[in-house]
Structure 1
Amino acid sequence: MHLLLVRHGETPSNLDHLLDTAVPGPGLTPLGEAQAAALPEALAGEDIEALYVSTMRRTQLTAAPLAAARGLGTIVRDGVREVSAGDLEMLPGESPEGREYMRTVFAWAAGDTGQRIPGGESGEEALARYDAVIAEAAASGAGTVAVVSHGAAIRLWTAARAHNVDVAYAAARPLRNTGVIVLEGSPSDGWKVLSWDSAVVEPAGESGPTGEPVETAQ
């Protein structure tokens, strides 16, 4: 399966660098709306057969122009929502607590899935729910599937499941609003990242696109 993981458009909480992970969450800023409107052209070369979104408003609003352009319905699944910040909800991402959020997410990606965000979920729970939606999409028989999701959740799942992207790579590279990670594979055979936010991905541990660490929820 050809899998497109798309981060939602910009939200007010992105501007303020807040850990805003509760459902349904905010809508989009004017820039976020423009980013969403540009998605159909940006993905014009992709033969998308199924379009998944999370239970959060920002993914549904981001996907709406693409769904309309392709004549697709959106499939809403809670499993691809953002990693829950729990007790850290709405704290600044630059705070010590905000930094701990992302450190925990990447510890999960490295295999320490038993850790739990205070008042939130464990890595086992977060990955299991995301895996279930990807497995559903793969079982649908669609050749190309787009999933409009969230920055921390996308980077977690990709680092944990793609064989050619390691945790250091994912941790150092933010995914811009409406940025796309493109993968090929299946739940049974595994996943390979073809591109990360428009940059071709080299094998884990080798050089790749530059970027700064992101310490906030998306």
Structure 2
Amino acid sequence: MLHLYLIRHGETDSNIAARHLGHTDIAMNDTGQSQVAKLKQYFKDIPLDAIYVSDLKRTVDTARQLGELFVLTPKLRERNFGIFEDLTFAEIVAQYPDLQKQWQADWIDYVIPHGESARTVFDRNAQAVADILAKHQTGHVAVVTHLGVIRNVLAYLCEMPIAGAWHFRVENASVTRVDIQDGYAVLQFQ
């Protein structure tokens, strides 16, 4: 059996402000640093066989709590929000009202200018996890990534449609464990 640990990075100032933060490479704030320091304790008795990490600073710094040897995996990046990057929903409505309406009308397939669609991100994230599962059928594997990615991965593993990703709440510096055996995923709540 494979124990897959999906770990969200610690808090950032953009998380507090509810900004659409995707590919912008920012650090965690002090609260985020404190949050991820607790991950060492959580994993102290879990022998991780591999750690896969989004290649952005906030996830890399989170992963360092688990060990120095990890695999940078750009496919585990959050959505590229393009011109909506680092804006709040209210700012998007104010600055791009027509584009926001298009996005809301077709949020799965709408491609944000200079960004990507929800479907593109879902497919990219699903491929990243499929690649990981092809390499690891047993053991303990950590994936350090972002809110949207964890939601996408959970929907993918639970064989849900893209819209199913919105059913998962994932806090900063949280750990979501999924046990996978013979291609069947079971969420473990602790």
CA distance 1:59–1:120, shift in 2 (3 Å): same
**What is the aligned partner in structure 2 of residue 149 from structure 1?**
145
Q: Letter of the 2:155 partner, please give it.
A: A
CA distance 1:166–1:43, shift in 2 (3 Å): farther
Q: Is residue 9 of structure 2 the alignment partner of residue 8 of structure 1?
A: yes
Q: Is residue 122 of structure 2 the alignment partner of residue 121 of structure 1?
A: no
Report the TM-score, using the length of structure 2 for normalisation.
0.79
State the distance in 2 between where 1:82 and 1:166 align. 15
**What is the aligned partner in structure 2 of residue 189 from structure 1?**
183
- Seq. identity, %: 27
Equivalent residue of 1:183, what SS?
A: strand
* Mapping of residues 154-193 of structure 1, within 5 Å: 154-163=150-159, 167=163, 170-185=165-180, 189-193=183-187
* Mapping of residues 102-117 of structure 1, within 5 Å: 108=108, 114-117=109-112
State the distance in 1 between where 2:43 and 2:89 align. 30
**CA displacement 1:13-61 (0-9 Å, x = unmatched):** 11222112124x1111111111121101123343321011101100000
**What is the aligned partner in structure 1 of residue 79 from structure 2?**
83
What displacement does 1:78 show?
Answer: 0.4
Equivalent residue of 2:80, what SS?
A: coil
Q: How many equivalent pairs are there?
A: 181
What displacement does 1:144 show?
Answer: 1.3
Q: Letter of the 1:130 partner, please give it.
A: N
State the distance in 1 between where 2:168 and 2:54 align. 22
**What is the aligned partner in structure 2 of residue 43 from structure 1?**
43
Q: Which has the higher relative contact order, 1 or 2, with Cα contacts under 8 A spaced 6 or more apart?
A: 2
Equivalent residue of 1:65, what SS?
A: coil
Equivalent residue of 2:11, what SS?
A: coil
CA distance 1:140–1:161, shift in 2 (3 Å): closer
Could you tell me whether the CA contact under 8 Å between 2:80 and 2:116 is conserved in 1? yes
Equivalent residue of 1:36, what SS?
A: helix
Could you tell me whether the CA contact under 8 Å between 2:129 and 2:153 is conserved in 1? no
Could you tell me whether the CA contact under 8 Å between 1:163 and 1:190 is conserved in 2? no
What displacement does 1:172 show?
Answer: 4.9
Could you say what the CA RMSD is over the residues aligned between the two structures, in angstroms? 3.0
Report the TM-score, using the length of structure 1 for normalisation.
0.70
Q: Letter of the 1:144 partner, please give it.
A: H
What displacement does 1:147 show?
Answer: 0.4
